[in-house]
Structure formats: structure tokens, C-alpha cells
Structure 1
Amino acid sequence: MPRPSLRLCLAALWVFILGVAIALAAVIYEAYEQGPGSQIRHASLSAEKACTELATKFSWGEENKSYSLEKKSDFQYALLEIILEHYEGVEGGYWNSEKTFGPYAYPTYEGNGIKRDIPESERPTLNRLADQANLKHALQSELKRGSREGIYYTACPLSLVANSGAAWTMIRIPLSTGFAYSKFQWSLSLIFVFIIISGIGLGLVVYRWIRNVRSLEREILQHSVDNLPPLNPNPELELNRIVDAINQLNSRFQASKAETKKLERKIAHNDRLSALGKMAAEMAHEIRNPLATISLKLENALVDPASRLPLAAPIIYAQIGRMDRLINMLLAMTQQFAIKAQTVDIQDWVSTSFLNIRKNAESKKVSLLFDFQVERWSFDPFHLARALENLLSNAIAFTAIHGQVRVSFFKEDSNLIIIVEDEGPGISAQVRDTLFEPFKSHRVDGNGLGLVLVDDIVKAHGGSIEEIGSSSGALFRMEIPWQKS
């Protein structure tokens, strides 16, 4: 089973941190609910609601005459018991307009027995708040905080009529545990902030790492292995080590590649020299034919120089030119090519380098069609023009009148591809095997050295050439890598 990727592991860790942060946030909220601030808020709401309900229910009973004057205290006590039963920890009572306390109840008291007495220490505060509520006809409240507990007092007027009395409630709030929860809450909050910062930091690290990895990946993929330039340093230390390793490996690869090309050129040169022995015999045969023709024409001309020499001279001159071309091509084969690469505008190069080929095509009424899909490339313009000229010369020779020769330039991977396609009879499989061997010509006026020269020039560029044939005739494909100038 394959191991998960680093990105997946970091993403899973980030999700885990997020889950911990959410769980901790829930714990912090619960701790906050147990803190003194939250307890005071809940206690004050409970006390005020109970006080308001005591005043409202009593006022309703008074308006509807639900009790007699003698039963007023009993009615108030009943209300206290019934209402305060629903408010945990709330004790309360009624205060008369004579500034005296009426019935009091604490139904949820957890001590032994029933609590009936108002705490003496709380009477002054309750008396003051009830008097203010009675005079201002508005709810009055006050909080007293001690070291261990707080007390929240509330007083509500019984009606809008002045001096009608008031209802009051009070609730005790334990603050010691609240302060402990508050400290616990702050501790959890600090941990929560630390986790959030850690999660954000981890997310930024993961994002930066992924971004740098993708940048390195794009930089590598936009080049071929054969032409990979030195990679730029990466901001990530770990990735930069990989970049250094790739650059060192690429340097060794390029050095090995250059050495390989050098050895290939030496081997090719040695192969050409070793083939001279075999070629000498064939060369002698090729030279003997024009020499025999020259000798015959001269003998005939000497019989009657005045009439025969003008007719023999053009033929003798043509045969001498043929031998000259043969010798020049043979010399070119025995010399090692020195490629002088430069960046070339391909359309300008074609328009200026093949004027004779165009004239040859026009004289035979053959159309030359060029398709340029690459604007510029680096190669030796002189030698590659010689190679392409040989291919075009053969293509025109084998193409019928009004036929077409198509030449295409396009890029494939890191190579310039040159396609030369004619509409001739094509090349058979038997001929294709000896196509690039010297003195294996299939043209009447050929010497069998043109394609050998083409092959040598292409290989000197580090490229390759092959004849792959087509449905309409011969098709030669050359691959030329970008040459470092």
C-alpha cells in the first residue's frame, strides 16, 4: 500500500488542529458560562424576572379583589411560595408602604427546615431599594460583591399608585468557584489562541511549501531533459537541496552528453576514413567513366579539329565539372565538420539560401511549398543549407512536371523538425536500407554522395535523419536540436 503524500499528511494534521480548536472553543464557552460574569448575569435576570412576576401577580390580584384585606398577607405568602419555587436560589418578599417588611419566603432553600426570617444584614439594603422603587415607580437593583460571594438585590413597585409598596428579591452568587472558572477560562483561551496561531502558521507553511513545489515542478517540466538549464534557487531550504542535487546531476549529464557527442564525431570521422579504402575502388570507377568520355572525344576531335573540336568541347567541359564535383564531395566527406551555430530567422534563411534550387524547380515546373511553424532556431546556416539543398535537388529530380515538393518546419519536444516530401515514385524498402551509403545513387546523373553528406551534416548537429515514406512519394524527416552558439 503506497504511503500518503506529505501534503495529505499536513492537511490531515491541520484538520486535526482545527478539530481540537473547535472542541477547545466549546470548553471555553462552557467555562465562560461558569465564570463570575456569566453567573451574575444569569442571577440578575432570574432575580429581576421573579421580582417583576411577584409585583405583577399581586397587582392583578389587588385589581380583581382576589383577597380580603385580612387575607392580604396570606395571599402574598402564597404568591411567594408558588412563584419563587420556579427560581432556584431566589428568596424574596413584600415591603409595605409603612416601610416595614411583609411576608418573606425562600422555597428553594437547601438548608434544614423552612427559612422564614429575612437576614438582618440585608434589611438596610432591601429597605432602601424598596423605598426607591416605591417612590420612582421603577425597578431598582444593586449588586454587592464580596471575596467569596455576591448578592444581587431587586425591588419592584407593586403598582403605579404612589406608596403602594414593593416586591423584592435577592439571590446569592458564589464567586470563589466563578473566579476559578475565570482563571481556567483564561488559561484555555491562551491555549486556544496558541492552537489557532499554530493552525494558521501550519496552513501558511503548507501553502508556501506546495506553491514552491509547484513552481519547481513547472520550471522542470517546461524544459526537456536534454536541454534542462540550471534551476533557480528555491526559498525552501529542503527543496533547495533537491535543486542543488538536480543541478549537479544535470551538469554531469551535460558533460557526459558533450563527451558522448565528441566521441560520436570521432567515431564517425574514423568510420569515414576507414571507408576510404572501399570508396577508392568505387571512386576510381566513377572517375574512369568521365575520363573515358573525355579521351574518346579528344581522339575524335584530333582527327578533324576544325569541325569536331567545337562539338567535343562542351561535353569535355561537362565531364570535367562532374569529376570536380565528385572530388569536392569526397573531400567534404573526409573532413570533420566544425559547426558554427547561430540563431537564424528561418524564413529569411530559406529565401536567401536556395535561389538555384528555386530556379531548378521553376525550369522543371515543380512547385516548392514551404510551411513555417517555427520562426527562429539555432544551427549552422551554411552546412544545413547544403544538406537541405541536396534533399530538395533529389526531390525535384524525382517529381514529375507540375508536381509539388513540400517543406515543413515545426518544433517537436526540443528539436527542429524539417520535413521534405515529394510526389515521386517513392523509395522501396530494399533501397532504403542502403540509402545513406556512399556511391549508392538511384539518379542517372547522381554519384551517391549527396545523402551521405546530408547524413554527416545532420549528425554533426547532434540530430538524425530518416526516410519514412508517404503515400505520394519519398518523405525525409530531419531532427535538429537547438545548438549552443
Structure 2
Amino acid sequence: MLRSLRGRLIVLLALLVVAAGATAWLMVGLFHQSAAAQVGQAAAENARACDAIASAYRLHSADWGAAPPAPDDTAARGRLSAVVQNALRNRPGVQGGIWHGDTGSLAYAFPTYDGAAPRTDPPGGELPRIREINAAALTSDRAASHRYGARSQTLLISACPLPGPIPHLTAWTMTWTFTFAGRSYYQLMAGQAVLLVTVLIAAALLTHLTMTWSRHVSQIETALSSYDVADLPVLPPTHERELDRIVLALNEAGRRLSAARQRGDTLARQMATAERLAAIGRVAAGVAHEIRNPIAAMRLKAESAVAGGAERQPQALRVILGEIERLDALVRRLLSITEHDEPKRELIEVSAFLEACVAEHTERAAAKQLTIASSADWQEARFDPDQVQRALDNLILNAINAAPAGSRIEVAALRRTDALVLSVHDRGSGPPVDIQDHLFEPFVTGRPDGTGLGLSIVREVAVAHGGAARFVSADHGTTFEIILPCPTS
């Protein structure tokens, strides 16, 4: 499975966003827990302030004895206000008072109020809530408290009954706690800001990295695809350390490949030169051998005719003419190898063409007790009939010379993908092993009476048609093939 660096970077960016979201959710949760703890602490402090008023009232009411003041007594209200003032003096942000179930507020104090003038009356907007909490404390005869939450702050009210000579009295306290304006809120905002900036910077870096790498990889891909494999381009540096290591390795590989290709070209030229020289040597040796024998025979006959008189001259002249004809045939076959005529392609009916080629050799094959048969998988193909017939004649003659008596020679036209394959098969043992690698070179032969030019002609005809000739050896006989590509084009 192929993996993309860009895809992995995108996944990494997505994971970073998810991690940032989870962290933000955790921070908000911790903030709410901190705000709840802050509200709980403020509620406890508010309840303790109410208990402090109750304790101060008990001490103050002990001096009244059996003659308590009336709830509407002005002097008594002033003393009760002093009691509340002293009880709340050291409790910042807490206000409170003493409440009568029938009369209402008897005393009120807010000693830690930061305003320019002291506050002497309960806040009018909260009187319904104050009345409600005091009524709850009187009804249950125990301390009561309530919270009123808002978006940025929470109102805490507590009330506790005041036992004593004046019935239906309760003490109450009230405070505000600002959950979204305290230290925890500012810590949350700072953390969220740092987290947001970190995520944005990381996202920008990852996006830049993804785009940069994608651009550099595309440039490298374009540069490599526009050049041949044998000649790699010199890639410019990308100024990305990891990518530049790959670029450096590719440039070094291209340099080594170019050097190896130059060495290979040099060796190929040297090998081609050596092969040409070797081929020239073999051709020269073959030509010298083939020419020396007829010349020697003619010389011998001429000397014999001169020494023997007029009786031997006609016979000697006939032998000399035969040797001259042999030399002429040798020269013609050499010329057929060296003259590279362009094939004159015609649309040929393959089956009829093979039958005509086989018919010319039927008598020669019958003389050796051989049979020749032809078959064709093709109907029509384009090739030069004269050149191809000359090549097939050489293969059939070789097969007649090599096949054992009573066997069969098969000439066939086979279809292989986009090529026409003309094959000649016989039951002979084939050429000697030591010359099989050089069969199609001039003057290479396994027969004492052969010239070694027939297979050279076969190869030249195949190459002229853009094809090839090859030898196939098997346990059941020998096959020579002429491969002609795209015969129907």
C-alpha cells in the first residue's frame, strides 16, 4: 500500500486540531470546577458570616433580660445595626442584617463596601429574595441558603433564625461572587489564547511544509520524467535538508550512470571493432580456402594437359571450366550477402507461396527418400517474395542434406503476436555444438562440402525485413526460423 507524505502531514494536522480541541475542553472543564469551588467557598464564608451575626446577637440580647425592646424601637434598631456592623467588619464583600418576620428589615450593614458613602439600606432589587430566604429560615427553624446564578456572577444569600426575647427574628447575609472575572477566568483566557496561537502556528508550519514538499517533489518528478533514463538530469537543490539528501543521491547516481554508460559505449565500440575484425578474418580465411582449392585443381589439370599432349586437353578444359563455374557461384553468393537491397514488399498468399517453394525441392528430397510438407496459419502477408524464397531455399537444402532417409521435412508459416514466423523443421541431429553460436556468420559450416554462406543469406534477408533468424534445437529434430514482424501492415 502506497503512503503519501502529504497525506500523513494532513493527518498530523487533524490530530493536532483534535488534541487542541480536547485540551480546550479540558481547560473549560477545569475552569468550571474551579468556579464551582470558588462559589462553594464563598457560600461557606457567607454562612459563617450569618452565624457570626447570630453569635453577636445572642451576646447583645443577653443584656435585655425580661424587657426586650419593641421591633420598631429606633434605638434598638441602631444597636442591632452596630451588632451587624461588628460581625461583618472583617468579611470582605459580605452584607447582611437582621430581619423581622412581620416588620421586615430591622438592621443592615455593609462595612466593607467600597463606595464613597456607606450603604444603610438593603439593596431594593434583592428585597424579594431576602424576604424569601428569611421566611424559609423562620419556617424551618434552621439555617437556609440559596444561590442565584447569572452569566458572569453568582448571588449567595444565607439566613439563620435568632432565638431570643424578640420572636420572628432572623439574621441574613448576602454576597456576590464573580466567576468570570476572577483569577481562574483570566487563567482560562490566557491558556486558551496560548493554545489557539500554538495551534495556528503549528497549522501554518504544517501547511507550509506540506505545500513546500509537494512542490519540490513535483519539480523533481517533472525533471526526471523529461529526461531519458540513460541520461539523468542534474537536479537543483531544494534547500530542504532531507530532500537535498535525496537530490544529492540522485545527482550522484546520474553521474555514475553517465560514466558507466560512457564506459559501456567505449567497450561496445571496442567489441564491435573486435567482432568486425574477427568476422573479416574468418571471411578472408574462408574466401582464401574456397578460392585456393579450385585454383589448385585448375593448375593441376593445366599442368597435366601440357604434359600429356592433345589427348588430355579437352578433359582438362572441362575440369577447369567446372572450377571456374564453382568460383563464379561462390562470388555470386558473396555478393548476395554484401548487397543490402531494400525488400520489395508485396501482398503474398502465404500458403501458395510455401507450396511453390516446396515444389522446387520435391525431386531432390525424393532422391534421398524424404517427404516435404507445408502448412500455413496465415492467409496473406507483405514481404519480398524473391528474397524470402532465396532464404527458404537455403534452409530447405540444408534440411535435405541433414535429414535421415525416410523422415519428413515440415515447412510452416506460424502466427506469433504481430510477427510471421517461417520455419523449416527436419529430423536431423543439427549442426555441431561448437559452431552453433556462429551459425549465421559467413563460411561457418558443419559439412565438408558446404561453403557456409547459406545461413548468412537467411540472416541478411530477415534483417532486411526488420526481423531475425534463429536456430532451435530439440530432442526430436532441428528447426530454423525466419521471423518477419508486422507482415500485414
Same fold (TM over 0.5): no
TM-score by length of 2: 0.44
TM-score by length of 1: 0.44
Question: Which structure has the larger Rg over C-alpha atoms?
Answer: 2
Higher-RCO chain (CA-CA 8 Å, sequence separation at least 6): 1
